Structure 1
Amino acid sequence: MFYPYRDIFRAPGTVGFASAGFIARLPLAMVPMGLVAMLSQTHGEYWLAGAVSATFALTNALVSPRISRLVDRHGQAHVLIPATIVALTAFILLLAATTWRWSSALLFLFAALAGVMPSMPAMIRARWTEIYRDTPKLSTAFAFESVSDEILYMTGSVLSIGLSVGLFPEAGPLFATVFLAVGTFLFVIQKKTEPRIHAVAQSGAASVIAFRPLQLITFVLLALGTLLGTAEVAVIALTKELGQPGAASFVLAGYAGGSLVVGLVFGVLKLKANLAQQFVFATLIAALTALPLPFITNIPMLGLALFIAGAAVSPSFITAFGLIEQSIPVARLTEGMTWAMTGIGIGMAAGSFSAGYVVDAYGPASGFWVSVTAGVLALAAVTAGYRMLADRTRNICATPIQMACD
């Protein structure tokens, strides 16, 4: 089963940029919880820790698509280097402000500046696309990246919290800063696999988010990201109510594990259905598997239900990025993929916030109603937009967006 994954690394340079990219994107998973762990210890105020972390996450969600738009116009190396330098400087100043107890306002300022950090998952997927465009290997490469994202999100937060608690409060964000510097440097020096700059990217076209298929895909991914964010909060609350708080980590690991296993298998399947059909089906499974969650009253059933629910996550993400590759103009691909990643990130934040509010108001199990609502919204959107996704291809949208893709 794993031969197709070995096969995608036969192309020259793939091992190098994938390895460097793995290091460079660790901060995406480490920084949010690392900031919470750091500031809650040094300042003793959880609201401040959460607010600073949210400032970073929101800024990164809003700014990273614009960074990726510049990448499409000028190339990865020309943009990633200055953007990363700004982010690294901001992280260093944030660490200094924490250590020497500078004004809290500076914490927010430096967190916002750190949000300039580029979206490395999009940069990596753009390189895979440049190598394997219009071949079955691209789906396998996207599956590999989705599984890598799962591994990173499973381990990054835990690593960051463990470092800050086990060593010293600033350790988690500090190591994330080092990973960002080393990984990005190793990534950008690999010129042979850097995507070419296309003529359309140098034009004055509007942002690619104006393209309706991308709006639909991003909204669906936002809803699916809400499922992920809801699970983290609701599982912790429910296992605590059931008297087994330690079981939360195992249940959530099973959730991610279901996504990881199915993602590996899905990436090597040769399906006859087109990507739009696959996207609808994967979203349907995600919506259906969310339905039983509010009614579960014991840990074993919760673990099983979330393992099954996790099985729909990777196929949804894999097909979403495949649809973006097929329907977005080649010259705007990095920006398009970054908007998709932004949708997932905002959805996770929205899911965590919404589930927390519902849990406080109505009890732990009620938090999963946020999952049900998000699943229904995702399914309704992708069903309504199916024809648009099936009809729009790169061939009819190869000119500037405002001319051909309105």
Structure 2
Amino acid sequence: MRSAFFGAMAGYKALPGIAGWPQMVIAVFARIPAAMVPLGAMVAFTDSTGSIATGGLATGFVAIATAIFSPLIGQWVDRYGQRRVLSIFAPLNAIALLALFLAAIWGLDEAPLFLICALTGATTIPIGSFTRARWSEVTQNPKELGTAFSYESTVDELVFVLGPAFVGFAASAAVSAAPLGIAAALVIVAVLPFALTSPKRMPASPAEEPGEDAPVTRPGILMTLRKISPALIIMGCIGTFFGSSQAAITERAAEFGSPDAAGLSYALMGIGSAAMALLMVVVPDRVSLATRVLIGGLGMAVFTLITIVQGNLVMTSVMLLFTGLFLGPTLVTAFTAAERLAPKGGMSSAMTSLQASLTVGVSVGSAIGGGLAAAAGSAGAYLFAAALPVVIVFVGVILARIRP
């Protein structure tokens, strides 16, 4: 068993040989702007306008535009290739972020501000989605692909946790708008190189040999969404779980008189999730996707319910860590299920749609969880969060029937 464990973990050593170290490093840094912008916009515009409501609306416009346009960018990539599409969107996103930075400096408000926020979200490139699409094309080995997806989910989790922390550091060390300026710079030095080194074309199937610039027949986005609907539901539930859990732990920390500790407590769930995502490579292939989803959903539900009855912040944080141990594998499994369910030629649309589902889920979870926390305390938000993994369990039953 010991040798099997180390043999599985050794699979990560093969990834740089498949994708190349430069590409993997660029992809990590290219994720950071998207992780910084939501909280960065909230902090910058709350400070510049003196209204937390305006800061929240600014973040909401970014998130909604990102969720709407990510699948569309994915569809265009499926049709025309990553390099052509992303090379257009990367500089546009850098310009939009620079405009957002200046809007915070100048104190813009209302319609002009929200328009810039929408443009920022609409031009945001979902890096994690496109790296996964690349992996699915450069390796046909299921074990290597599973290892790559585990690695990508771990990177996503770490950036998701560290991005907001970086926002807090930059805003406190300089001005509140500084994170937006840093995000614009990172788009130029990381996202643009990611775009320019993207593959020109990923064929729809081995039988098709289109010309380099000729569009090929691709599945419609509605067909892709229908095919991957189980994975979309799982990802939407995970996003909503994230958002409601954020609201719950924020309220719980305030209840215990330590509001500043909320971020650290929540980060433990992200750390547990990232660690288990990395360890997913040791799970034997004989364990089906349905079984993984069922176990993940049940574990998330049980430990979230246990979290409700904890009488101090330390044990609450421990329960969040345990919850993350089940969340990470479920996240990885959702991407694997989408890869298997997606129609040929629709991989980029599938992966970006999953990211959009996660983004929408976080926004919905934050709104509902925040309302419940205000009305019924942290227990109300946690009860709502605990219901979401139950939905994931039902999707696991559906996956057991269709066996992707």
TM-score by length of 2: 0.90
CA contact (8 A) 1:294 1:367 kept: no
Q: Match for residue 131 of structure 2?
A: 124
Deviation at 1:338, TM superposition (A): 0.8
Q: Match for residue 86 of structure 2?
A: 80
Instruction: Flag structure 1 segments of 5+ consecutive residues without an equivalent.
Output: 393-406
* Superposed counterparts of 1:161-310, under 5 Å: 161-191=168-198, 196-198=202-204, 202-203=216-217, 205-208=219-222, 210-310=224-324
Deviation at 1:243, TM superposition (A): 2.1
**Change beyond 3 A, Cα 1:102–1:259:** closer
Q: Match for residue 100 of structure 1?
A: 106
Runs ≥4 in structure 1, deviation > 4 angstroms? 208-211
Q: Match for residue 46 of structure 1?
A: 52
49, 71, 76: which is aligned to 1:70? 76
CA contact (8 A) 1:208 1:335 kept: no
Deviation at 1:103, TM superposition (A): 4.8
- Asked if residue 6 in structure 1 is aligned to residue 6 in structure 2, the reply is no
**Change beyond 3 A, Cα 1:268–1:183:** farther
| d(CA) in 1 for partners of 2:108, 2:195 | 34
Which residue type is aligned with residue 155 of structure 1? L
CA contact (8 A) 1:296 1:365 kept: no
| d(CA) in 2 for partners of 1:280, 1:85 | 42
Deviation at 1:295, TM superposition (A): 2.1
- Once the two structures are superposed, what CA deviation does each residue of 1:309-347 show, in whole Å capped at 9, x if it has no partner? 001111111111111112212311011011111111111
**Change beyond 3 A, Cα 1:325–1:204:** closer
- Once the two structures are superposed, what CA deviation does each residue of 1:225-281 show, in whole Å capped at 9, x if it has no partner? 222112222112112211233432332222112112212211233331222332233
| d(CA) in 1 for partners of 2:236, 2:166 | 26
- Once the two structures are superposed, what CA deviation does each residue of 1:83-102 show, in whole Å capped at 9, x if it has no partner? 12222222222222332234
Count, aligned residues: 388
- Asked if residue 359 in structure 1 is aligned to residue 359 in structure 2, the reply is no
CA contact (8 A) 1:259 1:313 kept: yes
Cα RMSD, aligned residues only: 2.0
- Asked if residue 144 in structure 1 is aligned to residue 151 in structure 2, the reply is yes
- Once the two structures are superposed, what CA deviation does each residue of 1:107-142 show, in whole Å capped at 9, x if it has no partner? 100111111212111111111112222331111111
CA contact (8 A) 1:125 1:145 kept: yes
| d(CA) in 2 for partners of 1:271, 1:385 | 16
| d(CA) in 2 for partners of 1:209, 1:150 | 29
Deviation at 1:5, TM superposition (A): 1.3
Higher alpha-carbon deviation: 331-340 or 90-99: 90-99
CA contact (8 A) 2:38 2:59 kept: yes
| d(CA) in 1 for partners of 2:195, 2:53 | 37
Higher alpha-carbon deviation: 36-45 or 292-301: 292-301
SS in 2 for 1:57: helix
| d(CA) in 2 for partners of 1:342, 1:384 | 22
SS in 2 for 1:256: helix
Which residue type is aligned with residue 12 of structure 2? Y
| d(CA) in 2 for partners of 1:248, 1:114 | 28
Deviation at 1:24, TM superposition (A): 1.3
SS in 1 for 2:311: coil
357, 360, 365: which is aligned to 1:346? 360
| d(CA) in 1 for partners of 2:247, 2:137 | 38
- Once the two structures are superposed, what CA deviation does each residue of 1:277-297 show, in whole Å capped at 9, x if it has no partner? 322332232223222222222
* Superposed counterparts of 1:349-388, under 5 Å: 349-388=363-402
Deviation at 1:194, TM superposition (A): 6.0
Which residue type is aligned with residue 148 of structure 2? A
Which residue type is aligned with residue 350 of structure 1? V
| d(CA) in 2 for partners of 1:154, 1:143 | 17
| d(CA) in 1 for partners of 2:279, 2:90 | 35
| d(CA) in 2 for partners of 1:204, 1:332 | 7
333, 336, 346: which is aligned to 1:332? 346
| d(CA) in 2 for partners of 1:155, 1:73 | 34
Give percent identity, aligned residues only: 24
Q: Match for residue 3 of structure 2?
A: none
| d(CA) in 2 for partners of 1:125, 1:385 | 21
Which residue type is aligned with residue 344 of structure 2? V
Higher alpha-carbon deviation: 347-356 or 52-61: 347-356
| d(CA) in 2 for partners of 1:210, 1:270 | 28
